[in-house]
Structure 1
């Protein structure tokens, strides 16, 4: 999914420059396909990626007749690379990532790795450390240009009614934390953490936004079953500023919720989903909390944690402790949010650098 988000950002910019560009996008997972199909629609042609077998690759490329292949991040398939190199079709690796752990694995098969790396006409790493690893594996240094991470160049809009909290925002003393894009297995942990928060801060509020609409009723029942006073975003008759929890069961308002809350927990990370887009709250200057499962956005999260704009929390106690600590210390809360926002602002610009490098191949 992460690769699809980055690819979509590049494709949108390329189509602005060349509206008639014929782009075929392949993905390997349904979630990645959904990102492309819903985000780009008929602007591109989508296929699931063929298996990395010589005959399959030959038949696929014969039908597509590509002028160039842009691979996202770390999808390195030997037969793809060998066949396109043999046909002198340029291959570019964009938003390229290579961890030290992965580099060590490739070094165990140095002959194959060098053959693969020499297939690239251009490698565009997200940072200098990744660039050095690609060069160590066999990429020509003259064909390795650090561009930064495209994911930081996403643009977000805050749609919706500014009175999202329905009474909570009227009291400057009321602090609200958001549990965004939660999955099954996470809601109870987060709600139990809020119970502990309320023991120390009785006026604290929680907004919990399930990732999937089909779980709105399930999560609402869980909130009620744990004894919270609550209301749902979609049911104005139940809105009450004294309620302890709101279930965010509206669509298209997550960025608004991020904007209006004080602390953001990004879901899909307490269970092995891989995490969701923490750039969204960070771009708004919110302190970011996340569980340990962040492989969809590992490099982004690593930057945020490294600059103290995000914190990993894995248990009920760790979550409640982090929320309480940030709620009682306004300076700490604002500083952490500023650091998160600074990471995003400092990291912008990769998209234009990447597109400039791609243009000669179009």
Structure 2
């Protein structure tokens, strides 16, 4: 609570202030900061986040390389106190987090503000246009807007950002690197199993039963089909195992080699840190956390491996990424067991179509890479 009102430790030297709201923005901020510290190890960086999940990303990912605080409230006295204590020479705001008092005070103090990995949907732009005088004032406070796409850049300019201060750099999240961390594959009995393995990745409570129902439909149409189901949280492994049994599926557990049989219907992924191996084995990937309002999980992981992607309707944590994948022909949205199974069956039946969709998902990622390099280059003059 003290941090929310600007009561933070005083910095001994000027800092670079990064602000990220929650998990998605924090992942992008962490990527930028890591690259900046490679180039300029002595940078003094302060990171603020709004949510505990965002804080966890920064603290676990960057540790003592940065100073973390929860973000100050948008009150004049609070922001003055906070700025006085952290001594920022620049503020880099991730994505779209606009606070009038923050921006007004930074402009008054001649501290440059950069909006990085910036997004502006048409819906949000329409809302800002309803308060045009305030939104124009805020937009003119930015020294630079680094937009993820051309349409975003056009909307920022329409709202008041000068064209020379708006630059399209791409989405940093596409520059993440992923490692395949196992030499012997994920499930050896299925290593030669062709064209019929689908994966439900990072499932949450309320999703597993629906996905098992979808698998029943898939098996009815495609008897040799197999399902890998990987719960997001280890404390749910045993509950999901019982659920698989209750649905009368034969199954193996990734952690128990004695249970490994090629004839099983379902593999329960009850280990941690091996999701990329599971994606590699699968022919089709359902990215969970999206049938319930969690906000989805990272679709880039299966996309870089050229896998067709299915997601539920709740993708707000990765909305822009999913939109690009969907528009690029590499992803589908489905909200019911029947809708999911219909897509899986169609992909299983048509190998050429499945490969085309997977290649289109991979192409979206490859086309979008390079944003990190462009963003860092644009930030250097402000540091």
Please, what is the CA RMSD of the aligned residues?
A: 1.0
Aligned pair partner of 1:262 in 264, 283, 296: 283
Residue 171 of structure 1 and its aligned partner are, at CA, apart by 3.3
Cα offsets for 1:280-311 (capped at 9, x unmatched): 10011000000011111111111111111000
Rounded to whole Å, the distance in 1 between the matches of 2:247 and 2:281 is 25
Off by >2 Å, runs of 4+ in structure 1: 160-163
1:40 aligns with 2:47: no
Per the alignment, residue 118 of structure 1 pairs with 140
Rounded to whole Å, the distance in 1 between the matches of 2:322 and 2:254 is 29
Rounded to whole Å, the distance in 1 between the matches of 2:132 and 2:37 is 38
Superposition pairs of residues 125-164 of structure 1, within 5 angstroms:
125-164=147-186
Residue 160 of structure 1 and its aligned partner are, at CA, apart by 2.2
Cα offsets for 1:60-101 (capped at 9, x unmatched): 111111111000001111111111111111100001000111
1:339 aligns with 2:370: no
Aligned pair partner of 1:72 in 81, 94, 117: 94
Superposition pairs of residues 81-92 of structure 1, within 5 angstroms:
81-92=103-114
Cα offsets for 1:175-198 (capped at 9, x unmatched): 210000111111111011001111
Aligned pair partner of 2:205 in 184, 194, 198: 184
Per the alignment, residue 374 of structure 2 pairs with 353
How many residue pairs get aligned? The number is 361
Rounded to whole Å, the distance in 1 between the matches of 2:321 and 2:339 is 22
Rounded to whole Å, the distance in 2 between the matches of 1:169 and 1:49 is 48
Per the alignment, residue 13 of structure 2 pairs with none
Cα offsets for 1:337-361 (capped at 9, x unmatched): 0000000000111111100000011
Rounded to whole Å, the distance in 2 between the matches of 1:322 and 1:284 is 19
> Contact conserved, 1:193 with 1:320, CA < 8 A, in 2?
yes
Per the alignment, residue 6 of structure 1 pairs with 28
Rounded to whole Å, the distance in 1 between the matches of 2:176 and 2:132 is 36
Residue 166 of structure 1 and its aligned partner are, at CA, apart by 2.8
Gaps of 5+ in 2: 1-22
**TM-score, scaled relative to structure 1:** 0.98
Per the alignment, residue 291 of structure 1 pairs with 312
Q: Which secondary structure state, in structure 2, belongs to the residue aligned with residue 333 of structure 1?
A: helix
Residue 117 of structure 1 and its aligned partner are, at CA, apart by 0.6
> Contact conserved, 1:166 with 1:240, CA < 8 A, in 2?
no
Q: Which secondary structure state, in structure 2, belongs to the residue aligned with residue 11 of structure 1?
A: helix
Per the alignment, residue 3 of structure 2 pairs with none
Residue 161 of structure 1 and its aligned partner are, at CA, apart by 4.3
Q: Which secondary structure state, in structure 1, belongs to the residue aligned with residue 301 of structure 2?
A: helix
> Contact conserved, 2:185 with 2:277, CA < 8 A, in 1?
no
Q: Which secondary structure state, in structure 1, belongs to the residue aligned with residue 89 of structure 2?
A: coil
Per the alignment, residue 247 of structure 1 pairs with 268
Rounded to whole Å, the distance in 2 between the matches of 1:130 and 1:300 is 14
1:235 aligns with 2:256: yes
